[in-house]
Amino acid sequence: MKKVIMGTETAALAAVLARVQVVAAYPITPQTVTVEELSDYIGKGELDAEYITVESEHSAMAACVGASATGSRAFTATSSQGLALMHEMLHHAAGGRLPIVMLNANRALSPPWNLYCDHTDSLSQRDTGWIQYYCCDVQDVMDSTFIAYRVAEKVMLPVMINLDGFYLTHTSEIIDVPDQEEVDRYLPPYDPADKVDVDNPSTYGCVCGADLFSSLKYRRQMETLAVEQAWQEASDEFAAQFGRSHAPVQGHNLDDAEVVIVTIGTAGGAAQLAADALRKQGVAAGSLNLAMVRPFPHQSFRRAVSGAKHLVVLDRDVSYGGEGIVAQEIKSCLYGKSSAQVHGFIAGVGGMDITEELLADMAREALGGQKQGLELGDSIWIKVLP
């Protein structure tokens, strides 16, 4: 069924179609509509789930941890400051191997206060062990939620679905809403091997000594690295059933591309247009939407950019004292394995729009054209005061 629907509404509807059983969430701009919609669905009896009202995001995640440990499909949604407040519990969810799915509306962290898009909130949680997926459009929000639960429940790790604040949370698009039956076919009920059970008591998240701690971490890293493949497979299976693909790495005209514009989130659309415009001017350009940042899709990424000479990387974030986080991740992925030059640009934060022209100009600068911004460290900052 076709429907005109906003990003936040889509996240709520996707949770309904995924038949989540427990929702514990605290409202925060620009995620609020998702929480409101979900409480409506549950209140009206359209979703058979428990809505746990909480006093903070820390408690929201704690409630999801408990719910998930009992074998329930748990969902929550947050943004920015809320995600930061959850930090401790994010480690608990991933370390506990609990397949929770969470929407995060990417928003700047204060101060100064700013409600608009910035990826620093989620990227600064990349070491918590969560799978991180960045949506490029509204359809992606719907579809990736189903893929997320399917992967999460297979590999027993939580997934953070990221939506660019306002660009995606508050944009309405025409999307295809699948039937419940079809979703059920793709996403069977969650039935874990281990769950809290009073008749078979066990301590969950128990103490572990030096004898097994390294081995447990090793196994978790092994199984986290395998997520790239698991997501790819789940995406392929989704494509076979629904005709839409949501792979960890989504390329556009990469086969012969010498310049590749790399983005995460909604800028992927503008990047495609910029690459197409550059092609018309005779530049062998392509674009790459890096949908998955954790685990970093090393294999797919290296393969996708194997022929590239210049990678133009957009960061809507910064690791203070380092550089743009995506650029850093890409350098780490390619080190010793590629001779491509990585050009890191920091732009599009705090409500600054990323346009096709801006991205094309960045690519031209990477190829030796006119300077677009101010160089600082290893990054070039766009649209900052001189």
Which residues form the interface with another protein (CB under 8 A)?
Answer: 95-98, 156, 193-194, 202-206, 208, 212, 215-216, 218-219, 222-223
State the CB neighbour count (10 A cutoff) for residue 188.
10
Closest to another protein by CB, 134 vs 190, is 190
Which pairing describes strands 131-134 and 292-294: parallel, antiparallel, or unpaired?
antiparallel
Q: Which is nearer to another protein, 6 or 64 (CB)?
A: 64
Nearer to another protein by C-beta: 198 or 385? 198
Question: For another protein, which is the closer residue by CB, 43 or 205?
Answer: 205
CB of 156 to another protein, least distance (A): 5
**Minimal distance, residue 94 CB to another protein, in Å:** 11
Distance CA 6, CA 11 (A): 9
Least Å distance, CB 2 to another protein, is 40
User: Within 13 Å of residue 65, how many CA atoms lie on the same side as its CB?
Assistant: 20
* CA dist., res. 334 & res. 297, Å (int): 11
- In which residue are the tokens 């059983």 written? 21
Smallest distance from another protein to CB 193, Å: 8
**Using CA atoms, how far apart are residues 350 and 336, in angstroms rounded to an integer?**
35
Indicate the helix (H) or strand (E) that contains 67. helix 57-69
Reference 326, options 357, 364, 288, 355; nearest CA is: 288
What minimum distance in Å lies between the beta carbon of 204 and another protein?
5
CB atoms within 10 A of CB 270: 22
d(CA 284, CA 306): 14
Q: Which is nearer to another protein, 19 or 220 (CB)?
A: 220
Measured distance between the N- and C-terminal CA atoms of the chain, rounded to whole angstroms: 51
Q: Which is nearer to another protein, 97 or 343 (CB)?
A: 97
Closer residue to another protein, CB minimum distance, 193 or 385? 193
Least distance (Å) between residue 135 CB and another protein = 28
CB of 162 to another protein, least distance (A): 25
Under DSSP, is residue 250 helix (H, G, I), strand (E, B) or coil?
strand
Burial of 282 (0-12, 13-18, 19+ CB in 10 A): exposed
